[in-house]
Structure 1
Amino acid sequence: MSTTVQGTAGEDRSDYTRDENRAIRKRSLRLLGSLLRPLRGQVILVAVVVVLQTALRVVGPALLGFGISVALPAVLERGDWGPAWFITTTYAVTAVSNASMLAWYDVLAAKVTQNVLLDLRTRVFRHTQLLSLEFHESYTSGRIISRQTSDLDTIRELLGGGLNQLVHGVLFGVFTFIALALWDWQSALVLVVAGIPLAMLMRWFYKASQVTYRTSRVVSAKVIVKFVETMTGIRAGKAFRTEPRNEEEFSGLALDYRDVNMRSIRLFGTFEPGLMAISAFSIGIVVLWGGIRITQGELAVGFLLTAVLYVRNFFMPLQEIAMFLNSFQNASAALEKVSGVLEEQPTVPDPAKPVALEAARGAVRFEEVTFAYGTGKVILPRFTLDIPAGQTVALVGTTGAGKSTLAKLVSRFYDPSQGRVTLDGVDLRDLASRDLRRSIVMVTQEAYLFSGTVADNIALGRPDATMDEIVAAARAVGADAFIQSLPDGYSTDVNKRGGRVSAGQRQLISFARAFLANPAVLILDEATASLDIPSEKMIQGALQTLLADRTAIIIAHRLSTVAIADRVLVMEHGQVIEDDSPEALIAGTGKFAQLHAAWRESLV
């Protein structure tokens, strides 16, 4: 059985096999180690401080025992205050030192935690940006947001508080047991016997909470995904009155989340009383046996007090350790999800030895290209096409014919399953990423605008462009007039996702963005679909300006846009069934002539 577990593959599962669990744990520990390795100096200092602080904390009960059994009799019997002052001073010094070391530890631990989170948060953002389009089309935005928010917050809680509880709990328990064994081995033997049911209880709690918290992270991600998708698609939801169904589905997920949290609470509700029962039983045995030895003159009262305090102190951090296990299971599940995302590899990797192409001419060629999305059906079977530099080609065909797939291959959003796509004779897989992005630009129907000014959005592909160049690009595509009419002109904030401007205006801004980028190959994927007929006619001139002196691939259902092309390709089932100039195809009797005739009739 394979032990490779990808983040997306197991994203919504909680029933992993043993091999998968082992692989996930290794993956998570590998990630944690890589985060802590650059901070090993700080981590060592934290470890030294916590050891010293814990050792000082363990001294207290011994000083109390000496005070009652040695210093107090010295005062009462001989009037000697020397031992009392020594023990009191020592106790005060250890208490102050303990508090100071604890404060220092808290600062150091917080610094390590924040540095780890900074590194992890940056890694997730950088890695998800580098992943190929295939990942983002299958991995929902809600799940990505869950990785960056709730999962990282859970890891922060573990590193900031839970790890503190574990380190203090384990060290304090170990130091306390050692001190008790040195102080009174018979009382320490009671703890050894109590360790048998204690180990069984801890093992049960760890195993049960592991399953519960993994389920909790899965359900939590589903709640976030549902909320994000509902809010993102709120317009569609209101248009189709899906509020009742959305509420029902969200309520079901929220109910599942409540139930899994209740299971974790019940687990801790069983564990804590069990721990208290073992602790009470152990203290009772120590007190009983110690009382018998006091009556026989084998043990002083002060020493019995010290033994009882050590036994009680031994069990106190176990509750902290249980709280850590509580946080640890939650954070482990979160770390699994985050490490799963970071384990994802781009399906469109950068070339090992990139080929430079400083000034591309724009000649595009498909050579025996076969392509399928994942394990789905083949979209392009052995596809061959030659587009000379400077030619404008329009792709026409029914939905699913392969037009957008062709555009994604030219943009290298995907790589061919077989064959190759070249730019000026260079395989796109060998082309340097910087040259590829500069040479090929796609304008989509969505025309996404980022928060910021109009000028910032136009300069997206050339952030070093001057304002004069930005304005010239806008004028070239006919966008300058409406931009100047905005409240602050080019400095107007377009608001979230460009909500301050209309769909047509967003498209004009995207045209200006493409014009300023000045690519050798420009792809328009339904770029005029969001425009009404008058707006489309208005920007025909802008399109001709935009497409001049460069290779262009136009995907359009509106045949008015196709008229500006030098060549029309009619596609069907991943093959070109017609290939000629618009005029020649219209004059014929083929598929394009039928589509054109139907379009003319629709205008009438």
Structure 2
Amino acid sequence: MSVYGVQGEERTRYTKAESKQIRTRSLRLLGSLLRPLKARLWLTALAVVVSSAAQAAGPALIAYGIDSGIPALLAQDWFPVAFAGLAYLLSGLAGAFLISIYIRSSARISQAVLIDLRTRVFLHTQKLSLEFHESYTSGRIISRQTSDLDAIRELLDEGLTLLVRGVTYMVFMAGALIIFDPPSALVLLVALVPLGILTRWFQVRSQALFRRSRVASAKLIVQFVETMTGIRAVQAFRKERRNERVFGDLVEDYRDVNAGVLRLFAVFNPGLALIGNTAVAVVLLLGAFRVVDGALGVGVLLAAVMYTKRFFDPMEDMAMFYNGYQSASSALEKISGVLEEEPSVPDPVQPVDLWTADGHVRFDGVEFAYTADRVILPRFDLDLPAGQTVALVGSTGAGKSTLAKLIARFYDPSDGAVTLDGVDLRDLHPKDLRRAIVMVTQEAYLFSGTVADNIALGRPDAPFDEIVRAAKAVGAHEFIESLPNGYDTDVNKRGGRVSAGQRQLISFARAFLANPAVLILDEATSSLDIPSERLVQEGLTKLLADRTAVIIAHRLSTVSIADRVLVMEHGRIVEDGTPDDLIGGTGRFAALHAAWRDSLV
């Protein structure tokens, strides 16, 4: 589990131990992304080093041209001046050519890293268990894939170029200054003291601000995504004004954080310029006295001034890099946090194959708790024979959906085992598990694409006639045929082109086409009107005959097709019998059935 965890909002302040763990985790992720690109990285680094060396030769050639070329020119010797000029031109051309190679190579590296990282985030979040997705909001996941990855992209595309070129350039300028004029290099060394103090001041204060900036950005995205996703509820309950205030507060917070960052740069950038200009002035002043004394050549002084000036030239770019670096570093921390999350329902190490399942489900001493102090299902045993249709009935919160999720292995029991045909679900091969057990929930989610594509979700290679047969079996064929393009009609985003009841019928057809050994219907008829529900029940009666079915429904009319009814209260099964036996008794189900029958009068 990552430092963040999946509960609550991400923090902006950490203990030293947590910060060290986060940095280590982020660097480990970055190393794994760069490792496959070693050869290209070395080639890029070589291009940077040689180009910086070529640029560093420029002031030295000018010094040679002035101090050696001019006296030689007076003696009618053109060679030193011509050599200096030609060498300066060639070094400039070589530097420009190598920088071009570097930029192209670094762009390829950044794109390779981004593709790898974006794919990792997508694939990993798909593998994470239902527990993670129920706790980690969709807006935060979207933020990881959008604003956080964009921050890293900006760093790799621009910031990293500025850093590598800037550092290499500064090293060569400082080295050349030491060789040409050690006293001027001493001035530069002294200037590094206030430069280091200023940089450290900026680093400490900006780190927390950039973390706050990433969190504030994520909150904005979360609020926007949740508002747009739930726009029907927003408009139905007139939440526009309240959302406007909430979003406005988030925008203000984001603006305040960015204003704080700009205030830092308002001190940092002028401070850099002041230190650099002061160092250049001191080098020029001291060098001028030495030229007058004859201890220093004019060309060497000019080269020393140029080297000092060029040493500080990349500083502003370095500050911009640090801006991008802090933002990207905070983004990388959050992305690495997601990638460090482990599925609470892991795949088996040595999976057991079950090519053909009969559908015999058994709970052996099962107990389930979301947390240590929140036990949902106390210890119990349950046997569901193959081919039996079982209805789960009970009040909200009784544990019906949790029991169904255990059968589908969305969760693992805290204790005990759930088995299919004698095989523990934790040992069953994931492909066999998903083929054998299918769950249809209350939310009938449809993906963008045609109706036929959505029905064939579990069997993409299914022939068209089988798709049609599945739709006819659940009573969906008639309304599908009435759509503009029949089975080729695009259902639009999230199935917005069809009604809630029609979406539910399509999800039924999808489940039936998958032909599972165990079918779980979790409030799956809640979106259907009475005629549609009756039509579906006719299909259910025929299609559930040879498979195990678990039906969770508040509508007791759905229970009538069950062979067996389990009444649950507080996570325990309090009644177990056929619908007729329980209706004729005096227990909880009889009371529920009587209340339901009276409501129809």
Q: Does the aligned pair in 2 maintain the 1:477–1:545 contact within 8 Å? A: no
Alpha-carbon distance between aligned partners in 2 of 1:82 and 1:377, rounded to the nearest angstrom: 89
Aligned with 2:384 (options 364, 371, 387): 387
Alpha-carbon distance between aligned partners in 2 of 1:178 and 1:336, rounded to the nearest angstrom: 36
The offset of 1:375, in angstroms, is: 3.9
Which residue in the other structure is 1:303 paired with? 300
Which residue in the other structure is 1:58 paired with? 56
Q: Which amino acid aligns with 2:26?
A: S
Which residue in the other structure is 2:513 paired with? 516
Alpha-carbon distance between aligned partners in 1 of 2:334 and 2:314, rounded to the nearest angstrom: 29
Which residue in the other structure is 1:461 paired with? 458
Secondary structure of the corresponding residue to residue 442 of structure 1: strand
Which residue in the other structure is 1:23 paired with? 21
Q: Does the aligned pair in 2 maintain the 1:511–1:546 contact within 8 Å? A: no
Q: Does the aligned pair in 2 maintain the 1:11–1:337 contact within 8 Å? A: no
Q: Deviations over 1:212-257 (max 9, x none)?
A: 1011111111111011101111100000000111010110011000
The offset of 1:68, in angstroms, is: 2.2
Alpha-carbon distance between aligned partners in 2 of 1:293 and 1:73, rounded to the nearest angstrom: 20
Q: Deviations over 1:440-483 (max 9, x none)?
A: 00011111100011111111001111112111211222211111
Deviates more, 1:548-557 or 1:538-547: 538-547
Which residue in the other structure is 2:34 paired with? 36
Q: Does the aligned pair in 2 maintain the 1:4–1:20 contact within 8 Å? A: no
Alpha-carbon distance between aligned partners in 1 of 2:104 and 2:8, rounded to the nearest angstrom: 37
Which residue in the other structure is 1:331 paired with? 328
- Structure 1 unaligned spans of 5+: none
TM-score normalised by L of structure 2 = 0.98
- Are 1:571 and 2:568 counterparts? yes
- Are 1:109 and 2:133 counterparts? no
The offset of 1:74, in angstroms, is: 2.4
Which residue in the other structure is 2:169 paired with? 172
- Structure 2 unaligned spans of 5+: none
Aligned with 2:224 (options 222, 227, 230): 227
Question: Identity over the aligned pairs, expressed in percent?
Answer: 65
- Are 1:86 and 2:83 counterparts? yes
Q: Does the aligned pair in 1 maintain the 2:583–2:590 contact within 8 Å? A: yes
Alpha-carbon distance between aligned partners in 2 of 1:593 and 1:325, rounded to the nearest angstrom: 70
Superposition pairs of residues 425-440 of structure 1, within 5 angstroms: 425-440=422-437
Q: Does the aligned pair in 1 maintain the 2:475–2:532 contact within 8 Å? A: no
Alpha-carbon distance between aligned partners in 1 of 2:332 and 2:9, rounded to the nearest angstrom: 12
Alpha-carbon distance between aligned partners in 2 of 1:209 and 1:582, rounded to the nearest angstrom: 67
Secondary structure of the corresponding residue to residue 342 of structure 2: coil
Q: Deviations over 1:519-568 (max 9, x none)?
A: 00000000000112222122221221332210000000000000000011
- Are 1:133 and 2:134 counterparts? no
The offset of 1:201, in angstroms, is: 0.8
Q: Deviations over 1:299-328 (max 9, x none)?
A: 122211110010011111122222111111
Q: Deviations over 1:268-318 (max 9, x none)?
A: 110111111111211111111111011111112221111001001111112
Q: Which amino acid aligns with 2:56?
A: V
- Number of residue pairs the alignment of both structures matches: 601
Secondary structure of the corresponding residue to residue 373 of structure 1: strand
Superposition pairs of residues 161-240 of structure 1, within 5 angstroms: 161-240=158-237
- Are 1:555 and 2:538 counterparts? no
Which residue in the other structure is 2:369 paired with? 372
Alpha-carbon distance between aligned partners in 1 of 2:572 and 2:79, rounded to the nearest angstrom: 101
Q: Which amino acid aligns with 2:374?
A: K
Which residue in the other structure is 1:506 paired with? 503
Alpha-carbon distance between aligned partners in 2 of 1:135 and 1:41, rounded to the nearest angstrom: 38
Change (3 A) 1:322 1:375: farther
Secondary structure of the corresponding residue to residue 429 of structure 1: coil
Secondary structure of the corresponding residue to residue 460 of structure 1: coil
The offset of 1:69, in angstroms, is: 2.1
Q: Which amino acid aligns with 1:521?
A: V
Which residue in the other structure is 2:250 paired with? 253
The offset of 1:29, in angstroms, is: 0.2
Secondary structure of the corresponding residue to residue 85 of structure 2: helix
The offset of 1:80, in angstroms, is: 2.2
Q: Which amino acid aligns with 1:387?
A: L
Alpha-carbon distance between aligned partners in 2 of 1:420 and 1:512, rounded to the nearest angstrom: 31
Q: Deviations over 1:170-224 (max 9, x none)?
A: 1111110000000000100001111111111111111111111011111111111
Superposition pairs of residues 399-414 of structure 1, within 5 angstroms: 399-414=396-411
Q: Does the aligned pair in 1 maintain the 2:4–2:10 contact within 8 Å? A: no
Alpha-carbon distance between aligned partners in 2 of 1:401 and 1:433, rounded to the nearest angstrom: 28
Aligned with 1:470 (options 463, 467, 470): 467
Deviates more, 1:330-339 or 1:474-483: 474-483
Q: Which amino acid aligns with 2:541?
A: Q
The offset of 1:262, in angstroms, is: 0.7
Which residue in the other structure is 1:95 paired with? 92
Alpha-carbon distance between aligned partners in 1 of 2:184 and 2:498, rounded to the nearest angstrom: 78
The offset of 1:11, in angstroms, is: 4.9
Q: Does the aligned pair in 2 maintain the 1:143–1:221 contact within 8 Å? A: yes
The offset of 1:7, in angstroms, is: 4.9
Which residue in the other structure is 2:12 paired with? 14
Which residue in the other structure is 1:48 paired with? 46
The offset of 1:10, in angstroms, is: 7.9
Change (3 A) 1:376 1:568: same
Q: Does the aligned pair in 2 maintain the 1:391–1:566 contact within 8 Å? A: yes
Aligned with 1:74 (options 72, 86, 106): 72
Q: Which amino acid aligns with 1:253?
A: L
Alpha-carbon distance between aligned partners in 2 of 1:125 and 1:445, rounded to the nearest angstrom: 25
Q: Which amino acid aligns with 1:35?
A: L
Secondary structure of the corresponding residue to residue 551 of structure 2: strand
Alpha-carbon distance between aligned partners in 1 of 2:314 and 2:9, rounded to the nearest angstrom: 34
The offset of 1:119, in angstroms, is: 0.5
Change (3 A) 1:9 1:535: closer
Change (3 A) 1:180 1:228: same
Q: Which amino acid aligns with 1:168?
A: R
Q: Does the aligned pair in 2 maintain the 1:383–1:574 contact within 8 Å? A: no
Change (3 A) 1:190 1:10: farther
Alpha-carbon distance between aligned partners in 1 of 2:245 and 2:23, rounded to the nearest angstrom: 36
TM-score normalised by L of structure 1 = 0.98
Alpha-carbon distance between aligned partners in 2 of 1:451 and 1:86, rounded to the nearest angstrom: 68
Q: Does the aligned pair in 2 maintain the 1:142–1:226 contact within 8 Å? A: yes
Q: Does the aligned pair in 1 maintain the 2:26–2:336 contact within 8 Å? A: yes
Q: Does the aligned pair in 1 maintain the 2:67–2:297 contact within 8 Å? A: yes
Which residue in the other structure is 1:121 paired with? 118
The offset of 1:129, in angstroms, is: 0.2
Change (3 A) 1:10 1:37: farther
Secondary structure of the corresponding residue to residue 79 of structure 1: coil
